[in-house]
């Protein structure tokens, strides 16, 4: 069962709202307590992308800072976090300093007078990555068929005369292959994008890049485009080229999670 199946109706509604906006969030659940604590095991909270509690309760302010820090770490890495908030005396007995990590548990000092200990599990929930494919070429069609199998939400644009607006957080692949290349690239480069790739040779993109810059496009944005799209796998067929592009997309997506995640 998913965490949402154990939520109150109000919290489930809050989760659904965040999901509808494609925003990252996290669940925080108290899994163990010792000594005097305001909250008990099973208490749960919903945290937004800033690590702020938007629904639920985890006790007093003693846990707020540690939970927020752990939530931000979880959302950046995409990995769950287990944080143990304990009085300084207990940490000293164990030979642990606040901020240390041991066996997958991050320890932090509880400065509240209650002197209780609380272990909290943080589970990140990242939105499914959005892939926009511009064009109706064989490569575009092959990529649109392949990407959902690797958990990408795909939207395609088959009308080069009227491109659908795209969001800055999306990954974009321009696979027009001679049919509206400049228009599609202008659309993709309108504001800074997370990732833009162009299906075509390096030489062809150099010509198009020069035209884009002459037309007023930012040189930095133009030169940030991945061209040719895809890892060098020696791909020949549209399906193989789509596979090479998807491999590059996965690498870009994972690098973003590790470094920094809508």
Single residue among 76, 104, 125 that ends a domain in this structure: 125
pLDDT digits (tens, 9 = 90+) for 100-132: 888 889 998 887 777 788 999 999 998 888 899
Domain co-membership, 17 together with 116: yes
Residues 118 and 140 in one domain: no
Binning pLDDT at 50, 70 and 90, where does residue 261 land?
very low
The answer on pLDDT for 191 being more than 90 is no
Same domain, 140 and 247: yes
- Write down the pLDDT at residue 44: 93
pLDDT of residue 165: 55
Question: Of 125, 147, 177, which one is at a domain's C-terminal end?
Answer: 125
User: For residues 205 and 221, what is the distance between their CA atoms, to the nearest angstrom?
Assistant: 13
User: Are 105 and 171 members of one domain?
Assistant: no
User: Does 114 share its domain with 141?
Assistant: no
Residues 74, 58: one domain?
yes
Pair (161, 64) in one structural domain: no
The pLDDT-based confidence of 93 (bands split at 50, 70, 90) is confident
Question: How far apart, in whole angstroms, are the C-alpha atoms of residue 13 and residue 19?
Answer: 10
54 Cβ contact partners less than 8 Å away, ≥ 6 residues apart: 14, 46, 47, 48
Residues 43 and 81 both lie in one domain: yes
Same-domain pairing of 177 and 154: yes
pLDDT of residue 41: 92
Domain-ending residue, one of 108, 125, 142: 125
Q: Is the pLDDT of residue 195 over 50?
A: yes
Domain total in the chain: 2
CATH code for position 166: 3.40.50.720
Q: Is residue 176 a contact partner of residue 153, using CB atoms and an 8 Å limit?
A: no
Same domain, 97 and 156: no
Region 148-167: mean pLDDT is 68
Q: Are residues 221 and 156 in the same domain?
A: yes
Asked if 197 and 221 count as a contact pair (C-beta separation under 8 A), the reply is: no
Determine the average pLDDT of the residues in 54-74: 87
The count of C-alpha atoms lying within 13 angstroms of the C-alpha of 36, restricted to the half-sphere facing its C-beta, is 5
Which residue range is the domain that position 207 belongs to? 130-259
pTM metric for this prediction? 0.63
Task: Confirm if 83 and 70 have CB atoms less than 8 A apart.
Answer: yes
* pLDDT per position as a tens digit, 23-41: 899 999 999 998 888 888 9
Place of tokens 């906006």: 21
98 and 143 share a domain? no
pLDDT of residue 192: 54
Confidence of residue 77 (pLDDT cuts 50, 70, 90): confident
């Amino acid at each position: 069962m998913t965490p949402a199946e154990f939520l109150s109706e109000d919290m489930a509604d809050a989760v659904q709202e965040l999901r509808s906006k494609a925003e990252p969030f996290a669940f925080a659940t108290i899994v163990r307590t010792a000594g005097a604590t305001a909250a008990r095991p099973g208490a749960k909270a919903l945290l937004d992308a800033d690590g702020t509690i938007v629904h639920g309760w985890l006790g007093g302010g003693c846990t707020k800072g540690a939970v927020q820090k752990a939530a931000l770490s979880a959302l950046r890495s995409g990995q769950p976090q287990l944080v143990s908030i304990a009085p300084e005396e207990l940490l000293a007995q164990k030979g642990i300093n606040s901020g240390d990590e041991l066996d997958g548990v991050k320890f932090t000092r509880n400065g509240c007078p209650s002197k209780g200990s609380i272990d909290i599990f943080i589970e990140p929930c990242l939105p499914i990555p959005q892939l926009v494919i511009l064009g109706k070429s064989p490569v575009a069609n092959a990529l649109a068929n392949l990407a959902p199998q690797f958990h990408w939400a795909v939207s395609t644009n088959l009308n080069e005369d009227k491109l659908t607006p795209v969001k800055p957080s999306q990954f974009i692949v321009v696979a027009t292959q001679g049919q509206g290349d400049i228009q599609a690239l202008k659309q993709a480069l309108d504001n800074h994008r997370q990732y833009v790739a162009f299906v075509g040779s390096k030489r062809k993109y150099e010509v198009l890049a020069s035209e884009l810059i002459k037309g007023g496009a930012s040189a930095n944005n133009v030169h940030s485009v991945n061209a040719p799209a895809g890892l060098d796998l020696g791909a020949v067929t549209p399906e193989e080229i789509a596979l090479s592009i998807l491999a590059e997309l996965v690498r870009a997506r994972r690098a973003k999670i590790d470094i920094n995640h809508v």
